[in-house]
Structure 1
Amino acid sequence: MAKWGEGDPRWIVEQRADATNVNNWHWTERDVSSWSSERLRQLLLAVRVEGPEGASQLTDVDKLEGEASINNRKGKLFFFYEWTLTASWLGTASSGVKYRGTVHVSNLSDENDANDLDISVSLCKDQPDTPLLGLMRTRGVQEVRRALGQYVQQLKSEFSQGMILPSNQQQKTPQPPTQKKTSTPQISPAPRCSSGPAPRCSSGPAPCPTTCSFTLKETFQTSAAELYTTFISQELVQVFTRCAAVVEGRRGGRFQMLEGSVSGEFSQLVPERSIQMRWRFRTWPSECFATVSLELQQRGDETELRMACSGVPAAEEDATREGWRRFYFQAIRQTFGY
């Protein structure tokens, strides 16, 4: 989800030696793709159903693509997994005739509940119709759904042990956290556009296109202070975008994220209350920036965020609106549980 509409490798703080991640503040990750692949195969190959029509069972997992990881920050665990799989099934009718088919699951991920999984069952092309197909589409699908749910449960219980590290009160000999140097991509200052209904940038002759404005309102289950920090902290931005970023969380500070797809600068910051920025998407004319305002208001244990965005190229309004919803708001909720 790193690129606007594309997938990218992740880049986050590496897991540190035991008990050095004081109070579990830093983001740590454990890659469980290999374990997940093996466990999914075991669970799926145990699927077998019987009925008056005969009996069917999964015999092979032909395709299993994806990844999985367990993450910890501030003592909270977050689970990321996304898998696409295809399995073969063999059925033996009550008459003794054998039939072959496939089961396909395209959306096993942390974004979907077990009941929302899209599971399709079909016969191989050279196979005649058989009541066993109906058996697999009913009881067979239920068993596949149960097996995948069991994988998720084991991922969150058995395999997550050890992800919550001791706090500083529990350590006998506290040690300062080891710092890891990382190379930081540089951002070149972006030229500014002059004002006017059809402005031209001083650095070139290309005019900014006709622009438009829109507003959004979202509610997050967290404090205004924590939500504010999520937008201006380089570490947290890298976590919810799952790729490298540069975020200078100060007035006039620049940011670049989603592998350069988004860049700009913070024009005004009021801690816990508001964030204003000059913001642009990479495909826009290079001299054109939108003005984005995020107003935060805490209401009990929730925070209401009101976003106002102006200066967006008119042709990019829908893509920009959806991008903010998906790659900012939805990603923050799914990553941090807000």
Structure 2
Amino acid sequence: MARMGEGDKRWIVEDRPDGTNVHNWHWAETNCLDWSRNFLSNLLCDKTLLSGEGNFYIRTKKLERFEGEAYVNVRKGKIIPGYELNLVLSYVAEAKDSDGSSVILSTEGSVEVPYISDENAGEDPEIKITIKDDGPIGKRLKEAFIAKGKPFVFEKIREYVAAMSEGGPAKEDLEVKKVTPKKPASGAAAAPVSNNAATNSGSSAKENKKKEEKKKEGFKTITMSEKFNCRARDLYEILMDENRWKGFSQSNARISKEVGGEFSIFDGSVTGKNLELQEGKLIVQQWRFGSWPDGIVSTVRLTFDEPESGVTVVKLTHVDVPEEDRYGNATVVENTERGWRDLIFHKIRAVFGFGI
């Protein structure tokens, strides 16, 4: 072991004269607050939402308030965004008469988004829409903004979240530079073709096989077994019926009951499709969380067994759950397991009284 103050130089990250962070080995942080303000201003401000539809005219104005923090960290090429923002966007609204020649009402309103956070990157944030005139026409203008403006605001915030996940203003600086292969010196003889081509081909095949095997590294399987005081077909129906799902989860859901049909639960933070369905016996689905890296899907298998009348045992196997989300958080498996237990199985017991 090296004595104090005499560290082994092989393990020391020294400052380079050119200031280069070689391969982004240590943490590099970029403040993104000003960039975030400009980015969201360009997306949200001075945009026409309605231009005569129903004789309504609505246009966004400017960010009246923009507060919080936003930054991007990088470690060995891995981009880790962090942000907690709140903003207020103003808008103007007008209602004209039936022929559009004169203004009946001209008023203003605001859109408050109190919490945009990297913790909730896969979910749309809460939003509060107000209007100064609370008369009948003002209320109709507010409703028009909710119908047209709310989806617009959500869409632009998703664009911001996606941009931050890619590095925000530091995207180019945070990319790991690839080493360009050196070209042979001018006039140098080309390397002769090796007689070991077959051996090299075999080595390449082995490397490809290893790469295929390594694809599953970084994934886990969740298994769970729960008992309920109910019939198997009743529990199956609860999990496949969007209205009942909304009831126990207190969130929006859209669920197809057909094989190959798609579903969206927990306000769209989880999406997927049905792979195999046997009423009262089996549910096999493809699941994907919005916070997972692009292209990653998992498989959920739920089996229902009724060992005695009125008692159902449901067994869960959830495979290919990534250990990290797209932001580098290594709590995906833990959070997914807790979600199954606390947000699904225990909530079903609490709402429908299927205790054991």
Confirm or deny a common fold (TM above 0.5).
Answer: no
Higher helix share goes to which structure?
2
| Structure with more relative contact order (C-alpha pairs < 8 Å, separation 6 or more) | 1
TM-score (norm 2): 0.41
The structure having more radius of gyration, on CA atoms, is 2
